[in-house]
Structure 1
Amino acid sequence: MGTVINRPAIKGDIVHVARDKLGNILVIDDRKHRILSFDSVFEQSKILRSAPHLPVHEYNRAMLLPIAWQEPERVTVLGLGGGALAHGLHQLLPESRIDVFELRQKVVEIAHEWFSLPHSERLKVTTADARLAVDNLPEGGTDLILTDLYSADRMSPAQAQRQFIKACSRALSKTGWLALNYHRMPETDGTLFRELRRQFPVLLVFKSKTNNWVIFGCKTVFDPWTLPASRGKELEKRLPVGWPKLLKKVSMLARAGE
């Protein structure tokens, strides 16, 4: 008996369907975009079909912003989806190593086959539970961690756990960055926010058009407002996602001593 697919409320044509023990994985095309959805109304990934290395969602683009302040040699991405972040990083950072951890092997296969995720020596994708993978990362072994862990209808609870934040902090180099995508802003008097403040002397925040909150933690104290305007323009040439406009939407969330 075939599996009945409930079409999600996303405009376009379903061009591919896969299924594993966690549910359906849909690939949807409209005229300009290719979309990954986990059988829901939510878009897990979205790329331009004419330029698959360009992430479309504003919050995805915003997660790249720490690179404006520091170019990482080693990047860790938690959660692959269609590979929008990983592919963008591969284009943006030609000298860097990118390690991606994705729970679902079929998602990895679809990212390569349908979203043009490159096969590259610089880009390693491992099928593993990202929460456990962080615990096993070497101390100080990565310069940037991007975490975007979502199921079909909700954010992974791991991203809201103190132990997860501590594990990410331990894995980062002394000047490393963490970027987290939250569906709503953590309470500033809650345990999660207090842990973020303990681990990161500088916290920045970006609110997207879709009300996603991207929180950035930096392991060292610095002044983000000294960034020259030319830096955004330089990055725009390498990956045109609107760096100057994105940078203007960043605000200070907390800084040590304040």
Structure 2
Amino acid sequence: MSEFQVLYESSDALGPLIVLDSKTTRTLSFGDNDEQSKLLKLQPHIPQHTYLQAMLLVLLFQQPKRVMVLGLGGGGLIHALKHFDAGIKMTAVELRPQVIELAKRYFQLPMSKKLTIEQADAAEFLAAKQHKKVDIIFADIYSAEGVDDKQLSAAFIADASAMLKAEGVLVLNCWKEHSQDRALLARLQQHFAQVSACLTGGGNWVIFATKRDQQMTISGLKNKAQQLSQQLDFPLARLLTRFDVWS
């Protein structure tokens, strides 16, 4: 990582917090060989990780007015969603206060009246049921060790379902090995009419759990993906070939 300059280095009760800078990018790391968030400095709305790009496939099925992002990181999803539609009301929930401050200070977090930041445990925030229902929940709760087990629990999935509107979608960022977790699929099917997923080139397994069946042909999806690619400013065609119903 000789091409990177360390802009910030600290730690909290959950571990290290490191901000790395290069000529074109800025990276948030939670430990050695960890790349939690990566921002393209001149085009922060273009996600640099394929799993974030995959999570935005949900916009093929949903034109959200209100979303919830669980796990802020450097704010990559916030940037992309604001570029897609500046009118979306967003609530981001982040456990670590320093992460929130770093997103604001180093990652150009687009603060506005449309964005609310909550410093809280995401599972507890959902369980409290104090927030208005949303169209999409993006769950990307990770540490340097990987996905938080709470994100895959029966309670979390039930609470997320209760927080969604009638046609809402839960988007979960997981690992490739979770594609073999039949118990996880069963938990999702208890609350959602259809569960689809996308295997990314980076080894992530992004799950889309929808309250209602999505009746769309392959040609219809391709046409929408072409339009959405223009709106988001990055291509979705390759990701769409990896997208299918999880059964």
TM-score (norm 2): 0.92
The percentage of counterpart residues that share the same residue type is: 33
Query: Does 1:241 pair with 2:234?
Result: yes
SS at structure 2 position matched to 1:241:
coil
Moved more, 195-204 or 74-83: 195-204
Query: Does 1:17 pair with 2:9?
Result: yes
Deviations 1:2-52 (A, max 9, x none): xxxxxxx69622121132222221011233221100122111001111111
Q: One-letter code of the match for 2:162?
A: R
Aligned length: 246
Moved more, 180-189 or 116-125: 180-189
Moved more, 58-67 or 47-56: 47-56
Deviation at 1:187, TM superposition (A): 5.9
SS at structure 1 position matched to 2:110:
coil
Q: Distance in 2 between matches of 1:163 and 1:192?
A: 12
Structure 2 residue aligned with 1:34: 26
1:169–1:41: structure 2 CA closer, same or farther, 3 Å change rule?
same
SS at structure 2 position matched to 1:94:
coil
Structure 2 residue aligned with 1:117: 109
Deviation at 1:234, TM superposition (A): 2.4
| 1:157-236 equivalent positions in 2, closer than 5 A | 157-186=149-178, 190-225=182-217, 227-236=220-229
Does the Cα contact within 8 Å between 2:167 and 2:212 map onto a contact in 1?
yes
Q: CA RMSD in A?
A: 1.9
Moved more, 193-202 or 238-247: 238-247
SS at structure 2 position matched to 1:54:
coil
Q: One-letter code of the match for 1:157?
A: D
Of 141, 151, 155, 1:149 maps to: 141
Structure 2, unaligned stretches of length 5 or more?
A: none
Structure 1, unaligned stretches of length 5 or more?
A: 1-8
SS at structure 2 position matched to 1:64:
helix
TM-score (norm 1): 0.89
Deviation at 1:183, TM superposition (A): 1.7
Q: Distance in 2 between matches of 1:109 and 1:187?
A: 34
| 1:81-160 equivalent positions in 2, closer than 5 A | 81-137=73-129, 141-160=133-152
Deviation at 1:107, TM superposition (A): 0.4
Q: Distance in 2 between matches of 1:122 and 1:139?
A: 15
Does the Cα contact within 8 Å between 1:139 and 1:170 map onto a contact in 2?
no
Deviation at 1:132, TM superposition (A): 0.6
Q: Distance in 2 between matches of 1:139 and 1:104?
A: 20
Q: One-letter code of the match for 2:64?
A: P
Q: One-letter code of the match for 1:198?
A: Q
Q: Distance in 1 between matches of 2:241 and 2:127?
A: 34
Deviation at 1:237, TM superposition (A): 2.5
Deviation at 1:152, TM superposition (A): 1.7
Does the Cα contact within 8 Å between 1:140 and 1:174 map onto a contact in 2?
no
Does the Cα contact within 8 Å between 1:17 and 1:25 map onto a contact in 2?
yes
1:58–1:139: structure 2 CA closer, same or farther, 3 Å change rule?
same
1:221–1:138: structure 2 CA closer, same or farther, 3 Å change rule?
farther
Moved more, 236-245 or 124-133: 236-245
Q: One-letter code of the match for 2:233?
A: P
